[in-house]
Amino acid sequence: MFESLNRTAFRSLPWGKVPTGATSLFRELPIVMGGIGLFYSLLAFARYWSGPVQPEAEISLHAAALPKYALFSVLRISIAYVFSLVFSLIYGYVAAYSSKAERIMIPLLDTLQSIPVLSFLPGVMISMAALCPSRQLGVELGSILLIFTGQVWNMAFSFYASLKSIPTEMREAAQAYRLSWWQRFWKLELPWGAIGLIWNSMMSVAGGWFFLMACEMFVLGNRDFRLPGLGSYLQTAADAGDTRAILLGLVSMIGVIVAIDQVVWRPVIAWAEKFKFEQVGSAAIPRSPILTLLRSSKLLPFVRRSLLLPLRERLDLHFTQERQAPAGALVRTRRQLWFLRAAMVVALTGIAYAMVKVFTILAAVSSAELRRIVFGAGATFVRVEAVLLLAALWAVPVGVGVGLRPRLSAIVQPIAQIAASVPATALFPIILLALLRAGGGLGVASIALLLLGTQWYVLFNVIAGATAIPEDLKEVCSAYQLSPGERWRRLFLPAIFPYLITGLVTASGGAWNASIVAEYVRFRGQIVSTTGLGAIISQATDAGNFRLLLAATVVMVVMVVTMNRLVWRRLYALASSKFKLEG
């Protein structure tokens, strides 16, 4: 009912109508051309994947190479995002509804999000190169998986937190209507988590751009892997000190980010407005010309009726019959249980073997290396906590202000998307030179780089939380003439609290992850570093010292997991119990 009302209201607006003189061909042509362009891009990428491996590809700094590099980078990030979305939905769903799995999966998620991209690099690249030793596919899959490790964690945390905050009366309504788990997922759980998932998706894609330089051009021991893309272009330009090429690469990246924002994220944000939990209509609705074009199309509804709706109906019928049919259900359940037990035994055996190997390697770490790791861990910990404090101080008020004003959001969100996406390492030489001249050194400059890379996790989650505040609650505050301070204490802070915790948790993991590029910088053929775990991991990766790399990564994981268990997990429990929006 609400969806049909929103659709009717949308079409009744002047900007929601298509000009009467526009022909059907004019409306359908951009959609058809976009589909053809996407198909051609995938075809070109597949042809490149099937070619012979090029471990040391030449990266051209000519401007003519930028369109091809931009296309390859966008496809890598897009494929990694699809993997991240599927993983987040499955992982968040299982962790939210299985208390036994939650005890393992959430600490594991804490652990994985705290592992830097470069720590995944040796295992991922060796495995993928061994999988396809003679084809470019192996190296490309390795790069995509590395981008995946920089995208997925905040999306999984967001969907998990959204499921934990679903109001009790809505769950009871789903039970009263006897919805299957599939119907409940599509009609309640996915719509409820849509707003947070969309804003975290934007942050995830921005994180993919941020780590693109490390994922497209990296050194593993004596092997130099280079993939054609904007990240490798910027890294090559930075290494050569070519300011013109750096600016060309940044302009190209910003252009791609703006195009993606207008073609993808603005329509999705406007479309997701119908998922807000409220009983009155919003005064201001986000606008998107692209969404207006898509809604006026006759081709897309035909595809939806012909392909998507029949598939969804079959899935609904299948899972409903599976729930109602008792015959053979017990046998299938027992088979599934035995299969899960066998898989668990195999997984535990693999984990035990890996742990033995890890302890064997760690036993060879010298006392001098251990002291260096401990001292570096303390330095990085102080920087991370300072960055979280600085990020929260400005992101909370700004995020609430943007989230409460859709028109302002339409202006600020693309700017924030660009700022979050531009690799700070491409801008860092300028910041570094300025701070070195001012006497700050890399110790202070690394905090600036960490802030550039992680403050957006807090901002995007706070915007999502403020956007999801029901309009009727705002009207109640206006009716009672609450002061600004009272509104913050009684509505804004409680409403955004679950989103804020998600933002701080992912920002913390992102800050530890970003330390690998903040504490160890290459510029004009020179290496500038400071004391910290990130610098140790980067140095160990360059030198191929897997013993030191593993030891530093383990210490980083232990510190992050300890913080999450002592602080963030308790705040998550508080958010899901006290600050849940329900009657």
For 427, residues 6+ apart whose C-beta sits below 8 A from its C-beta are 250, 452
Q: Report the run of H or E that residue 351 belongs to, with start and end.
A: helix 329-362
pLDDT score of 14: 42
Q: Domains of the chain by range and CATH?
A: 2-15+24-325+365-577 (1.10.3720.10)
Which of 136, 188, 134 has the alpha carbon at shortest distance from 165?
188
Sign of CA dihedral 448, 449, 452, 455: negative
Q: Name which residue leads in pLDDT, 33 or 461.
A: 461
Q: Report the run of H or E that residue 435 belongs to, with start and end.
A: helix 424-438
Q: Are 77 and 209 in contact (CB under 8 A)?
A: yes
Arithmetic mean of pLDDT, 296-303? 72
Q: Report the run of H or E that residue 201 belongs to, with start and end.
A: helix 194-210
Question: Is residue 84 classed as helix, strand or coil in its secondary structure?
Answer: helix
To which residue do tokens 């999705």 refer?
268
Tell me the two tokens of residue 16. 């929601």
Rounded distance between C-alpha atoms, residue 417 and residue 402, angstroms: 13
DSSP 52: B
Tell me the two tokens of residue 472. 């009727």
- pLDDT band of residue 54 (cuts 50, 70, 90) is low
Q: What is the Rg, in whole angstroms, of the alpha carbon atoms belonging to the chain?
A: 25
Q: In the predicted model, is pLDDT for residue 6 greater than 50?
A: no
pLDDT score of 390: 92
Average pLDDT for the chain: 76
Residue range 77-115, pLDDT digits in tens: 999 999 999 999 999 888 888 887 887 888 778 777 767
The percentage of residues in the chain with a pLDDT greater than 90, rounded to a whole number, is 4
Q: In the predicted model, is pLDDT for residue 7 greater than 60?
A: no
pLDDT score of 2: 40
Rounded distance between C-alpha atoms, residue 193 and residue 154, angstroms: 13
Q: Name which residue leads in pLDDT, 491 or 335.
A: 491
Rounded distance between C-alpha atoms, residue 105 and residue 583, angstroms: 30
DSSP 132: S
Arithmetic mean of pLDDT, 162-178? 83
* Tally of CB atoms within 10 A around 440: 16
Rounded distance between C-alpha atoms, residue 332 and residue 291, angstroms: 44
* Tally of CB atoms within 10 A around 112: 15
Least confident of 194-203, 338-347, 475-484: 338-347
Residue range 264-280, pLDDT digits in tens: 888 888 888 777 766 55
pLDDT score of 318: 67
Least confident of 115-124, 152-161, 337-346: 115-124
